[in-house]
Structure 1
């Protein structure tokens, strides 16, 4: 806390002296709900740096990342600060379009120990370049509707104990209440392939860039097998995430459980389903699984015009404890900064979750989540496997054949 305050003071004095008369417009490109967090800290930033105006450019999630991909490829329309979601970090790291924050004048290596360990690995490319500073993380969480489970006579701890018990409980829930177990069977697959990986191992590739996907990999076989069991039993609503049907399911209680990051609580509370206050609870993932589910970062394009101020802004958003807490209070963005996680707010009950002290659970889960290596072909592998999973779920394709075909396609693309 004292170090953070001293750091902020030193920064203010240094920049205030050097740039007292300089007027700067700093362009920051972001997506919801990161844009909300930025707006929430703007008064504090403006008070510290009245000469630096933040030009916030916010687009919807996919539009933002598509625009940033094009900007990096063409060097046109580049912001000074670029927000990046974890799913795109590996892709952006493969090029040279973002600054290596390990290098001078950033020297970010000195700050890495201040963050939840697994998030540093997420922003480090295969070549060791550190391309973005983490601002929030998504400890994987098992959300469930307490009212639906109570009506069905299902104990949530039984659902948590094993995937087999999760599916068996889903059958009981469907029979007793009519509610589906989960929005889509793909959620089960997506979770299993990401949980309990070895430290430093990637989802699809190992440290030596060897492809892990294939019919002999028990993790992928089990993930597809259990997802197919969910689909064959009629337990998933076949609803995609971020759709109007998904939001309606939350509001109406027609889906009993949801796997997501801790950030979903803020989204449910603030705009997805605010009227369901008190009906939700959370617990750790099945079979004592721990996984990262989302996370946001800030990077600096190599051809940005205001790199010095961009770095000061990023440090203000990521290293400043109060900024991290402000974002957390604004929209539930779980801080990547360890010191912020120790704030008293994390021990307070969450009214939306029926007074449950969920943040303590999330903090512990984050500490137990292992660092996972990212690979520039992760997005390619994910896209191919999602197609093969669809073939398994909807066309009855043999699982081992699907994984063999996926392996061949990924190997060909990665070559």
Structure 2
């Protein structure tokens, strides 16, 4: 889903996976409770907004008990997923898949159920945006995941900090600042000069959405490494120049320092996929309510960063019930509730035209109609970016560390050479 973040854990031993995923290395535990209820385990990461929905489902399905395995970040969750796929046991009945790891999952699609076969008969593919379905459909037509959220891109910014720098802060005024990446970084130079403070939180949090606007990720559609043939070097150099100009607060995303940075007003702007609203709200705290705003104007026109799926591994003991739960969770009504809870924006077509979604406002962001804003941003995404088998690995273990190295003083040219070496190694 969203949340592309700290580095991928290297541990593959079962004991390490237990520590990361808080789950046992066996068959997944008992499938029934002492009073005869069917236990369904659901493995997610970060925030899906499902906690209250689980209670609602259990109330309507009194024969079901849901146990959630929730991992703090996406990397350890997926390491656990791939380790247990290889082991042949231990996975949850429903496993969440983040789009950055989808290519790796698709290469193992034979180990997941075809939801067209075992899912409820009334779940049709037109429930979702077409590109969302296409990304999780195998070449022979099997559907191995139900879409949850997407991450349409907007830009969040601190109105008060821009005003203190004598820069425009109203919705119309910031359009010129955020029109393109050139204007965004030029505005950053202006802000740094006026205040001596950082413009954005971290280099990787800016590089990633710029990269996601490309047609393909780190691999082309033949699964050949594309990092030397696409625009990634240009993007890397552009972000690195901004770092050297003082625009980065040099905060590692999702770290304690990064979270404190919101409260301490350490930066003025934040690339803002829909799921970031909750993070800004939670980390900034009540003292900054009304100071943050969100703009539909996004450099490069828009894009998608994040989004996930719910899958049913063949390892499960209650696959039909698992598919039924996954289908219910990914229905438009439930995904709108998840968006209300945690900002995970729906990928369902009916949700995107629902007045319940479009009329949603967020008082923390000055009463902005965030449902309408992100629905419009979602419709600017023409297709899902093609991602190769090690896309997520390269992003989290190669690019992000290299950009952090630039923030700590490494020459951009040297860091880029490290990127090339790491990407080639990961692609083997």
State TM-score, norm by structure 1: 0.83
The alignment partner of 1:92 has SS state of helix
Corresponding residue to 2:70 among 58, 67, 70: 58
Q: Could you say which residue in structure 1 is the equivalent of 2:197?
A: 179
The CA RMSD measured in Å over matched residues stands at 2.8
For 2:98 and 2:297, how far apart are their aligned partners in 1? 22
Structure 1 unmatched ranges of 5 or more:
1-20
For 1:33 and 1:43, how far apart are their aligned partners in 2? 16
Q: Could you say which residue in structure 2 is the equivalent of 1:17?
A: none
Corresponding residue to 2:288 among 273, 276, 295: 276
Deviation for aligned residue 1:268? 2.4
Question: 1:267–1:183: structure 2 CA closer, same or farther, 3 Å change rule?
Answer: closer
CA-to-partner distance for each residue in 1:142-177, whole Å, 9 max, x for gaps?
Answer: 111111111112232222122222222212222333
Q: Could you say which residue in structure 1 is the equivalent of 2:98?
A: 85
Q: Could you say which residue in structure 2 is the equivalent of 1:4?
A: none
Where in structure 1 do 4 or more consecutive aligned residues deviate above 6 Å? 107-110
Q: 1:26·1:53 contact (CA, 8 Å) conserved in 2?
A: yes
Question: 1:413–1:323: structure 2 CA closer, same or farther, 3 Å change rule?
Answer: closer
For 1:257 and 1:152, how far apart are their aligned partners in 2? 13
Question: 1:130–1:378: structure 2 CA closer, same or farther, 3 Å change rule?
Answer: farther
Deviation for aligned residue 1:76? 2.9
Is residue 117 of structure 2 the alignment partner of residue 104 of structure 1?
A: yes
Q: How many residues align?
A: 384
Structure 2 unmatched ranges of 5 or more:
1-34, 169-173
Corresponding residue to 1:208 among 218, 222, 225: 222
1:154-169 residue pairs with structure 2 within 5 A? Answer: 154-155=167-168, 156-169=174-187
Q: Which segment is superposed worse, 135-144 or 124-133? A: 124-133
Q: 1:145·1:279 contact (CA, 8 Å) conserved in 2?
A: yes
Q: Could you say which residue in structure 1 is the equivalent of 2:240?
A: 228
Q: 1:126·1:375 contact (CA, 8 Å) conserved in 2?
A: no
Q: 1:126·1:374 contact (CA, 8 Å) conserved in 2?
A: no
Q: 1:300·1:310 contact (CA, 8 Å) conserved in 2?
A: yes
Q: Could you say which residue in structure 2 is the equivalent of 1:5?
A: none
Question: 1:374–1:285: structure 2 CA closer, same or farther, 3 Å change rule?
Answer: farther
For 2:159 and 2:391, how far apart are their aligned partners in 1? 36
Corresponding residue to 1:375 among 377, 388, 395: 388
Corresponding residue to 2:150 among 101, 125, 137: 137
Deviation for aligned residue 1:340? 1.7
Q: 1:121·1:372 contact (CA, 8 Å) conserved in 2?
A: no
Q: 1:260·1:293 contact (CA, 8 Å) conserved in 2?
A: no
Is residue 41 of structure 2 the alignment partner of residue 32 of structure 1?
A: no
The alignment partner of 1:193 has SS state of helix
Is residue 276 of structure 2 the alignment partner of residue 264 of structure 1?
A: yes
For 1:171 and 1:51, how far apart are their aligned partners in 2? 60
Question: 1:267–1:223: structure 2 CA closer, same or farther, 3 Å change rule?
Answer: same
For 1:387 and 1:247, how far apart are their aligned partners in 2? 19
State TM-score, norm by structure 2: 0.81
Deviation for aligned residue 1:301? 1.1
Is residue 407 of structure 2 the alignment partner of residue 398 of structure 1?
A: no
- Structure having the higher helix fraction is 1
Question: 1:323–1:287: structure 2 CA closer, same or farther, 3 Å change rule?
Answer: closer
